Amino acid sequence: MDENTLSPELAAIADFIRHTLPFSALPEDELEAVVRKMEIGYFRNGHVFDQETPEQGLRILRSGAVELRNQEDELLDRLAEGESFNLSGLLQEEPGIRAVLIEDSLLYFLPREVYQDLRSRHRDFDRFFHGQRSRRLFRATRRMVSPGEMLHPLKGLMATDLVTTPVNATVSEVAQIMARRRVSSALVLDKDQLVGIVTDRDLRTRVLARGRDGRVAIHEIMSPNPITVEEKGTLFDATLLMTRNGLHHLPVQRGNQTVGILTTSDLITARQNDPVYLVQRLSRQECVDGIKQVLRDVPDFLVHWSDDGVPADQVSHILTAISDTVTRRLIELAMSELGEAPVPFCWLGFGSQARAEQLLNADQDNALIISDQVTEEQLDYFSKLTEQVCTGLDSCGYVFCPGDVMAQNPYWRKTLRQWRDTVDRWITSPTPQSVMKISIAFDIRGIYGDMELASQLQSHMLHRVRESTIFQAALASNVLNESPPLGIFRRFVVERDGEHKDNLNLKKRGILPIVEIVRLRALSAGISEVNTLERLQLLVRGRHMSRYDSRNLQDALRFLMQVRLQVQANQISEGEPLSNHCNPRKLPKLAREQLRDAFRIVDTAQKSIRTQYRQGLG
Amino acid sequence: MILQRLRHNAARKRYARHPYREPSLDALLESSLPHSNQHWSAQSWLALDLETTGLEPLHGYIVSMGWVAIERGSIKLDTARHLLIDSRNLVGNSATIHQIRDTDLEHGVELGSALLALAQALINRIPVVHHRPLDEGFLRVAYQEQFGFPWILPMADTLALERRRLSRRQEGIRKGALRLTECRRRYNLPDYPVHNALTDAISCAELFMAWARHFGGRGPKVGDCL
């Protein structure tokens, strides 16, 4: 008898694997063969896999949970049942990464050679690994949010208006209460103690299907001693408990008292807070109102993220991704009405949208580049398109730019050739007013359309600015317009009167000065990146700025952005109108000191600009 | 261990006199006995489960067998086998067996071939079962009847190991606490929805690994597992 011709029935394992990524992309017969090549291992809580682990390959969690941590021991991701990790792949992205078990775990292991072979033969399977780069981007947004998301306390998610019943009630009494309250479960209490739970399914399978009548006592058909979760537990704990035990209802306890109940749909709703879902939903809307509807939830997300300690630059990244999506969708909707564009064009984002540094009250700053092939008659199409999109953005909350820097303004809607001429004019004869007005146009990013147009304009700009010391000096004097709000003895200088009395404007006096200093440095160094933190990193790499100065400015900017985020989150929670103003006296002492430090760094950086461009400053 | 060795030698001599010896059974008896102070993960194991009719080896039959090997502390699924036993030649087939079997006849193998395949898989491996008396009883009878082969292999029994561990904790052992599913839950091992000889063999192998990983210190030696 030949052992190898016997086909082992590994159905239980194949069934599990079939439903996990990326194996769901494999054909059935292949799956069977893959399972035969797997190994199963059991490891205890605290076990570590790292680059020293002799067997490298794909590890799939059958039970248990694992945390991925980087060299600095920061949590990158947390994986549960059905999720997998390939350490050698992750190590290429993130040297020093390790996987630490946080529960006793059963792991399925697929040796490296086997899945490399699968990758070479199955495109869909390969894509899962191949897309490491895009997966990283995806993770970068998810990573910041999903741990926070999953670590959310249960308090806000559970239903608290509990439907309870005494232990001696009859089935039909309970069914009536459940019907009246429109719920799918009821908690059975005995002297205020939870002794059981009854769900729709119990009524179906233990009463109706068995032909029992409604007079049966509820304790005979309930599920006794249900599994519960502590109120201070997290969404993660609850999800784990429910998936592991196949539960649809999970009572929430505070000590001995039942205070709420969670259902599987609560978990799904909670997951929808994920910005990835939000962006997906936005791109499916068919009208402006639909987009507005989806955007209504964004302020709440901002509050959650702020509470979870998501870094402000990540929040800005997400919010910018959202406004990019809104812009693109509005352009698509306008085009479905007006028809395809007659010639290529590119929609540009300026300022904070280009830099991916938006928060919620951003107004719109945008422009349009039209291909030089355009004819006089075709220009009308673009006038209509831009007007429709700008109006749409305004009604979605990205209000019209007070300085009129918008694609619907003909001044900001030109052919590439006209743009080049305009840039040349700006640069050869700058005036203080013109520089202030156009400086944001040097933070430029293509949002929709022919990106080649955007990059041609940008490289033209970089080239011209770099060779014009006059223009650099004009930018420098613009940078020095706003001084940080520190008086003598390092007291904060706050507004004396008006709407924002006793407040200081974080954006205008702190964030924008840094943005402008860094923009000047980056443009003179010919750096095409526009995000301020990235510009700061590139300036160090190109030896245009000392590591020390760059770090200081990064820290100051991060801190100011974080304070601004908290300020906005508070304003949302309090129902106040959004602004960038903050009363320093309301800050905790430490934060106040840090704010002072941040402003001092801005001051120092401005002084160094003044020294460097003294001759040109006139 | 000395006793084990003596019994092993006696068995080998007894089988050497058998007129129609099977090479794989010879090899099984010739393979060296395990070293009891070797680390558990340096030893090869074969987790094994039998499905039988009834609990009495003399009156029941083996309906199917499943096994899987544990090498270097990890279950190798490429060694997994699930054999359904062709019951047509068995004397006194009961209707109940037929019910299970009729649909699966094309997969069935003769008991003798199945036992030889198992013997082949057992060379240099120690069998692991959950509840040893049952499986050992059936195997002893089957090997004796088919081949006149004296089954004397040392075996690891996860039920006995788990009982030993729980009683060391000075807590009473609840009724049912030693059932395979209950034992697995204590180690955060998942419930398998399907039960057949192979899934139960895999379940047993996983339990065995979990038990070993929780043994404490640097882990059990082979002698601690028997």
Q: Please judge whether B188 and A11 are an interchain contact, meaning their C-beta atoms are less than 8 angstroms apart.
A: no
- Identify the residue among B65, B67, B181, B188 best suited for mutation to test binding to A, counting A beta carbons within 10 A and taking the highest: B188
Contact state of A12 with B116 under an 8 Å Cβ cutoff: no
Checking if the pLDDT of A184 tops 90, the result is no
Q: What is the pLDDT of residues A453-475, one digit of tens each?
A: 999 999 999 999 988 888 888 88
Q: Please tell me the distance from the alpha carbon of residue A81 to that of residue A240, in angstroms, as a whole number.
A: 8
Q: Could A41 and B74 be called an inter-chain contact, meaning their C-beta atoms sit closer than 8 Å?
A: yes
State residue A517 phi and psi, 5-degree precision. Answer: -60, -45
Lowest mean pLDDT among A238-252, A261-275, B106-120, B200-214: A261-275
Residue A1 to residue B117, Cβ atoms within 8 A:
yes
Q: Chain B within 8 Å of A40 (Cβ-Cβ)?
A: yes
DSSP A329-383: HHHHHHHHHH-S-SS-EEEEEEHHHHHT---TTPPP-EEEEE-TT--TTTHHHHH
B108 touches chain A (CB under 8 A): no
Question: What phi and psi values does residue A89 have, to the nearest 5 degrees?
Answer: -70, -45
Which two three-digit tokens encode residue B15?
């089988």
**Domains of chain A listed by start with CATH number:** 8-132 (2.60.120.10), 154-267 (3.10.580.10), 275-467 (3.30.460.10), 478-617 (1.20.120)
H/E segment holding residue A82: none
Minimal C-alpha gap between B49 and chain A (Å):
14
Q: Span B85-111, mean pLDDT?
A: 55
Among A6, A8, A42, whose Cβ lies nearest the Cβ of B210? A42
User: Among A114-128, A179-193, B172-186, whose mean pLDDT is lowest?
Assistant: A114-128
> Chain A closest CA to B91's CA: distance in Å?
23
Q: How many residue contacts between A and B have a Cβ separation below 8 Å?
A: 82
Contact A346, A451 (CB under 8 A): yes
| pLDDT for res B145 | 86
CB nearest A37 (choices: B78, B82, B188):
B78
- Residue of B192, B193, B206 lying closest to A42 (CB–CB): B206
The answer on pLDDT for A134 being more than 60 is: no
- Average pLDDT estimate for A148-173: 80
CB atoms near residue A146 (< 10 Å): 19
pLDDT at A128: 62
Say if residue A19's pLDDT is above 80.
no
At A337, the pLDDT band (50, 70, 90 cuts) reads very high
CB distance A173 to A165 below 8 Å? yes
Contact A109 B74 (CB under 8 A): yes
Judge whether residue A78 has pLDDT over 90.
Answer: no
Task: Return d(Cα A24, Cα A14) in angstroms, integer.
Answer: 11
Both tokens assigned to A344: 């290529």
- Cα separation, A202 vs A199, in Å, equals 5
Task: In whole angstroms, give the CA distance from residue A267 to residue A279.
Answer: 19
Distance from CA of A107 to the nearest CA of B (A): 10
Read off the pLDDT of each residue in B37-42 and give the average, rounded to a whole number: 92
Contact residues, chain A, for B109 at CB < 8 Å: 1
Is residue A514 scored above 90 in pLDDT?
yes
Q: What's residue A7's pLDDT?
A: 45
CB A523 within 8 A of CB A442: yes
The C-alpha atoms of residue A277 and residue A289 are separated, in whole angstroms, by 18
Whether residue A258 contacts residue A187, with contact meaning beta carbons closer than 8 Å, is answered with yes
Nearest chain A residue (CA) to B201: A10
Contact B206 A104 (CB under 8 A): no
Q: How far A40 CA lies from chain B's nearest CA (Å)?
A: 5
**CB-closest option in A6, A40, A63 to B75:** A40
A269 vs A33, residue with greater confidence:
A33
Please indicate whether, in this complex, the C-beta atoms of A8 and B74 are within 8 angstroms of each other.
no
Check CB contact under 8 Å for B210 and A63: no
Reported as a single tens digit per residue, the pLDDT across B46-83 is 999 998 887 787 778 888 899 999 999 999 999 999 88
- For residue B72, give the chain A residue with the closest CA: A41
Tell me, yes or no, if B217 comes closer than 8 A to chain A by beta carbon.
Answer: no
Q: Does A151 touch chain B (CB under 8 A)?
A: no
pLDDT value at residue A365: 92
Is residue A186 pLDDT above 90, yes or no?
yes
How many Cα neighbours within 13 Å face the side chain of A603?
12
- Which of B44, B74, B104 should we substitute to test contact with A (largest number of A Cβ atoms within 10 Å)? B74
User: What residues of chain A, 86 to 115, have a C-beta less than 8 Å from chain B?
Assistant: 103-106, 109
Task: Provide mean pLDDT across the span A9-26.
Answer: 78
Name residues 152-181 of chain B within 8 A of A (Cβ).
none
Shortest distance between the Cα of B78 and any Cα of chain A, in A, equals 5
Of B82, B193, B206, the CB nearest to A9: B82
- CATH of B2-225, picked from 3.40.50.300, 3.30.420.10, 3.90.1150.10, 3.30.450.20, is 3.30.420.10
The DSSP code for A450 is -
Domain chopping of chain B, boundaries:
2-225
Which chain A residue lies closest to B65 (C-alpha atoms)? A8
| Cβ <8 Å between A44 and B214 | yes
* pLDDT, position A172: 92
Contact assignment for A6 to B113 by CB distance below 8 Å = no
- Count of CB atoms within 10 A of residue B205's CB? 28
More confident of the two residues A137 and A113: A113
Helix, coil or strand: residue B171: coil
Check whether A139 has a pLDDT greater than 50: no
Q: B interface mutation test: which of A3, A6, A9, A62 has the most B CBs within 10 A?
A: A9
Residues of chain B with C-beta less than 8 angstroms from the C-beta of A104: 187-188, 210, 213
User: Three-state DSSP class for A511?
Assistant: helix
Residue A157 and residue A139: Cα distance in Å, rounded?
Answer: 24
Give the angle subtended at the CA of B118 by the CAs of B114 and B119, to the nearest 5°.
Answer: 115
Per-residue model confidence (pLDDT) at position B17: 80
The length of chain A is 618
Higher pLDDT, B170 or A520: A520
Neighbours of B29 (CB within 10 A): 21
Residues 6+ positions from A177 with CB-CB distance below 8 Å: A163, A165, A186
Q: Pick the closest to residue A65 from A101, A39, A95 (CA basis).
A: A101
Three-state DSSP class for A97?
Answer: coil
Interface of B with A in 183-212 (CB under 8 A): 187-190, 192-194, 196, 198-199, 202, 205-206, 209-210
Contacts of A41 in chain B (CB under 8 A): 73-75, 209
User: Which residue is listed with tokens 């003044």?
Assistant: A610
Dihedral of the CA atoms A475, A476, A482, A485 (nearest 10)? Answer: 150
- The minimum CA-CA distance between B7 and chain A, rounded to whole Å, is 30
Tokens 């840094």 — which residue? A514
* Chain A residues within 8 A of B119 when measuring between CB atoms: none
Radius of gyration of chain B (CA): 18
Whether B190 sits inside 8 A of A39 (CB atoms) is no
Query: pLDDT grade, residue A15 (50/70/90)?
Result: confident
Q: State whether B205 and A40 contact (CB < 8 Å).
A: yes
The enclosing H or E element of A170 equals none
Residue B192's pLDDT is what? Answer: 78
Nearest chain B CA: its distance from A205 CA (Å)? 19
At which residue do the structure tokens 């019943």 appear? Answer: A165
CB spacing of A106 vs B75 below 8 angstroms: no
Whether the per-residue pLDDT at A201 is higher than 70: the answer is: yes
- From chain A residues 220-249, the ones with a CB under 8 A of any chain B CB are 244
Nearest to A106 among B78, B83, B189 (CB): B189
Contact residues, chain A, for B108 at CB < 8 Å: none
Report the distance separating Cα B18 and Cα B148, nearest Å. Answer: 7
CB contact under 8 A, A40 and B78: no
Decide if B82 touches A, using CB distance below 8 A: yes
Complex-level ipTM: 0.87
**B209 to chain A: which residues are within 8 Å by CB?**
40-42
Query: Touching check for B122 and chain A: CB below 8 Å?
Result: no
Contact B213 A12 (CB under 8 A): no
pLDDT for A94-104, tens place per residue?
Answer: 778 889 998 89
Q: What pLDDT is attached to residue B171? A: 67
Q: How many CB atoms lie within 10 A of CB A135?
A: 16
How large is the average pLDDT for residues A3-18? 65
B75 — contact with chain A (CB < 8 Å)?
yes
Two tokens, residue A217 = 């006592």
Measured distance CA(A612)–CA(A1) in Å, rounded: 87
Percentage of the residues of chain B whose pLDDT score is greater than 70: 89
